[in-house]
Amino acid sequence: DAGVIQSPRHEVTEMGQEVTLRCKPISGHDYLFWYRQTMMRGLELLIYFNNNVPIDDSGMPEDRFSAKMPNASFSTLKIQPSEPRDSAVYFCASTPDSPWGTEAFFGQGTRLTVV
Protein backbone atom coordinates (compact mmCIF):
# COMPACT_ATOMS: atom_id res chain seq x y z
CA ASP A 1 0.00 0.00 0.00
CA ALA A 2 1.24 3.50 -0.79
CA GLY A 3 0.23 4.85 2.59
CA VAL A 4 -2.10 7.74 3.31
CA ILE A 5 -2.17 10.06 0.31
CA GLN A 6 -3.04 13.73 0.61
CA SER A 7 -3.45 16.29 -2.11
CA PRO A 8 -2.40 18.89 -2.86
CA ARG A 9 0.90 19.10 -0.96
CA HIS A 10 0.83 22.89 -1.11
CA GLU A 11 -2.06 25.28 -1.64
CA VAL A 12 -1.91 29.05 -1.87
CA THR A 13 -5.23 30.83 -2.16
CA GLU A 14 -6.73 34.25 -1.68
CA MET A 15 -8.90 35.14 1.25
CA GLY A 16 -12.54 34.38 0.55
CA GLN A 17 -11.88 31.52 -1.85
CA GLU A 18 -13.03 27.96 -1.32
CA VAL A 19 -10.34 25.40 -0.52
CA THR A 20 -10.73 21.62 -0.72
CA LEU A 21 -8.18 19.24 0.76
CA ARG A 22 -8.24 15.57 -0.16
CA CYS A 23 -7.23 12.37 1.56
CA LYS A 24 -7.05 8.72 0.55
CA PRO A 25 -6.64 6.49 3.62
CA ILE A 26 -4.92 3.13 3.68
CA SER A 27 -7.18 0.41 2.35
CA GLY A 28 -8.93 -1.51 5.11
CA HIS A 29 -8.51 1.15 7.77
CA ASP A 30 -11.71 1.96 9.64
CA TYR A 31 -10.77 5.30 11.21
CA LEU A 32 -9.87 8.55 9.46
CA PHE A 33 -8.70 11.67 11.30
CA TRP A 34 -8.18 15.25 10.14
CA TYR A 35 -5.66 17.38 12.10
CA ARG A 36 -4.46 20.96 11.79
CA GLN A 37 -0.92 21.88 12.84
CA THR A 38 0.26 25.39 13.69
CA MET A 39 3.18 26.70 15.72
CA MET A 40 0.86 28.35 18.25
CA ARG A 41 -1.67 25.56 18.82
CA GLY A 42 0.26 22.44 17.94
CA LEU A 43 -1.64 19.48 16.46
CA GLU A 44 -5.41 19.89 16.79
CA LEU A 45 -7.93 17.16 16.02
CA LEU A 46 -10.62 18.64 13.77
CA ILE A 47 -12.86 15.67 13.05
CA TYR A 48 -12.74 11.91 12.79
CA PHE A 49 -14.73 9.22 11.01
CA ASN A 50 -15.37 5.58 11.77
CA ASN A 51 -16.52 3.47 8.83
CA ASN A 52 -17.25 6.67 6.87
CA VAL A 53 -19.49 8.10 9.61
CA PRO A 54 -18.44 11.33 11.36
CA ILE A 55 -18.07 10.53 15.06
CA ASP A 56 -16.74 13.72 16.61
CA ASP A 57 -16.52 17.09 14.88
CA SER A 58 -16.15 19.16 18.03
CA GLY A 59 -12.71 20.31 16.91
CA MET A 60 -13.95 21.94 13.72
CA PRO A 61 -13.27 25.63 14.39
CA GLU A 62 -16.41 27.10 12.81
CA ASP A 63 -19.07 26.61 10.19
CA ARG A 64 -16.67 27.59 7.43
CA PHE A 65 -15.10 24.14 7.84
CA SER A 66 -16.80 20.98 6.63
CA ALA A 67 -15.63 17.41 6.06
CA LYS A 68 -17.07 14.47 4.19
CA MET A 69 -16.24 10.84 3.67
CA PRO A 70 -18.45 9.56 0.83
CA ASN A 71 -16.75 6.16 0.76
CA ALA A 72 -14.04 4.17 2.51
CA SER A 73 -11.30 5.37 0.20
CA PHE A 74 -11.81 9.13 0.08
CA SER A 75 -12.34 12.10 2.37
CA THR A 76 -12.40 15.86 1.86
CA LEU A 77 -11.95 18.84 4.15
CA LYS A 78 -13.43 22.04 2.78
CA ILE A 79 -12.99 25.62 3.95
CA GLN A 80 -15.42 28.17 2.54
CA PRO A 81 -14.68 31.05 2.67
CA SER A 82 -11.01 30.80 3.60
CA GLU A 83 -9.29 33.33 5.88
CA PRO A 84 -5.59 34.07 6.55
CA ARG A 85 -5.87 32.53 10.03
CA ASP A 86 -6.65 29.19 8.39
CA SER A 87 -3.05 29.02 7.16
CA ALA A 88 -1.58 25.82 8.60
CA VAL A 89 -0.50 22.31 7.71
CA TYR A 90 -3.45 19.94 7.53
CA PHE A 91 -2.83 16.24 8.12
CA CYS A 92 -4.97 13.24 7.44
CA ALA A 93 -4.35 9.98 9.31
CA SER A 94 -5.95 6.54 9.25
CA THR A 95 -5.91 3.53 11.57
CA PRO A 96 -7.41 0.05 11.60
CA ASP A 97 -10.04 -0.71 14.21
CA SER A 98 -8.58 -1.82 17.52
CA PRO A 99 -9.98 -1.57 21.04
CA TRP A 100 -6.48 -0.95 22.41
CA GLY A 101 -5.55 1.78 20.04
CA THR A 102 -3.05 1.25 17.32
CA GLU A 103 -0.61 3.12 15.15
CA ALA A 104 -1.99 6.07 13.21
CA PHE A 105 -0.56 6.38 9.72
CA PHE A 106 -0.17 9.97 8.59
CA GLY A 107 -0.10 11.51 5.17
CA GLN A 108 2.57 14.05 4.32
CA GLY A 109 0.19 16.93 4.90
CA THR A 110 -1.15 19.87 2.90
CA ARG A 111 0.46 23.21 3.61
CA LEU A 112 -2.25 25.83 3.18
CA THR A 113 -1.44 29.51 2.83
CA VAL A 114 -4.30 32.00 2.64
CA VAL A 115 -3.21 35.48 1.55
Partner 1 sequence: GDSVTQMEGPVTLSEEAFLTINCTYTATGYPSLFWYVQYPGEGLQLLLKATKADDKGSNKGFEATYRKETTSFHLEKGSVQVSDSAVYFCALWDDKIIFGKGTRLHILP
Please pick, from the candidates 1, 14, 18, 56, the single residue that binds partner 1 as defined by CB under 8 A: 56
In the complex, minimum distance from the CB of residue 21 to partner 1, in angstroms, rounded to a whole number? 14
DSSP string, 27-91: TT--EEEEEEEETTTEEEEEEEEETTEEEE-TT--STTEEEEEEETTEEEEEESS--GGG-EEEE
Please pick, from the candidates 25, 107, 112, 114, the single residue that binds partner 1 as defined by CB under 8 A: 107
Q: Which residues contact 21 (CB under 8 A, 6 or more apart)?
A: 6, 7, 8, 11, 76, 77, 78, 90, 92, 110, 112
Size of the site for partner 1 (CB under 8 A): 22
The rounded distance, in Å, linking the Cα atoms of 19 and 60 is 15
Using CB under 8 A as the binding rule, whether residue 108 contacts partner 1 is answered as: yes
Please pick, from the candidates 11, 79, 109, 112, the single residue that binds partner 1 as defined by CB under 8 A: 109
User: Candidates 16-24, 64-72, 75-83, 101-109 — which segment interacts with partner 1 by CB under 8 A?
Assistant: 101-109
Binding site for partner 1 (CB under 8 A): 4, 33, 35, 41-43, 45, 48, 55-56, 91, 93, 95, 100-104, 106-109
